[in-house]
Amino acid sequence: MVTDARNNEMRIYLDADACPVKEEVYRVAARYGVPVAVVANARLRMPPHPEVELVVVGGEIDAADDWIAEHATSADVVLTADVPLAARVMRTGATCLDFRGSEFNPNRIGDALAARDLNAYLRSMGLPASGPPAFQPRDRSRFASKLDAVVGRAARSRASQGANKPT
């Protein structure tokens, strides 16, 4: 488990290389004043926002995933379409969403990993395997709504905990 040196402050980690919802992430983060680490294998255009940081990792396979997994804590939200990364960060207690607005579930992540591995095996044999459907506008909307709900809930929880602390 990663030690939380940020005093339980939330941060959003964005697995950005193939992310179709970056603008939605930036809007929600700005609304709640939550810092975002945009983790990618190459430089990306970034909004001029002081809370958004680009982290460029090496070009090795899984370099972005490894960096996110090393830094995510139970206070954080990780955004990824990568099922193995989701499994890794959920072990820290982090909340993990995919880019369609679904929350990865610790009780069902094993099923998601098995389905991913089965599809990869079928593809390697030249057999048809199912992949995700095309990204739709409703996916973008569902993602923005879910991210807003998750970050808003965490922000309210932090605010109520701060109000309950003895002075």
For each of the domains in the chain, give its residue range(s) and CATH number, in order of start.
12-130+138-151 (3.40.50)
Contacts of 153 (CB under 8 A, 6+ apart): none
Q: What's the whole-model pTM score?
A: 0.83
Write the DSSP string, 9-48.
---EEEE-TT-S-HHHHHHHHHHHT--EEEEESS-----S
Higher pLDDT, 48 or 70: 70
Amino acid at 69: A
Task: Please state, rounded to an integer, the average pLDDT across all residues of the chain.
Answer: 85
The answer to whether the CB of 119 falls within 8 A of the CB of 131 is: yes
d(CA 120, CA 53) in angstroms, rounded, equals: 33
Does position 70 have pLDDT exceeding 90, yes or no? yes
| pLDDT reported for residue 3 | 37
| pLDDT reported for residue 117 | 64
What does the pLDDT look like over 26-58, one tens digit per residue?
999 999 999 999 999 999 988 888 899 999 998
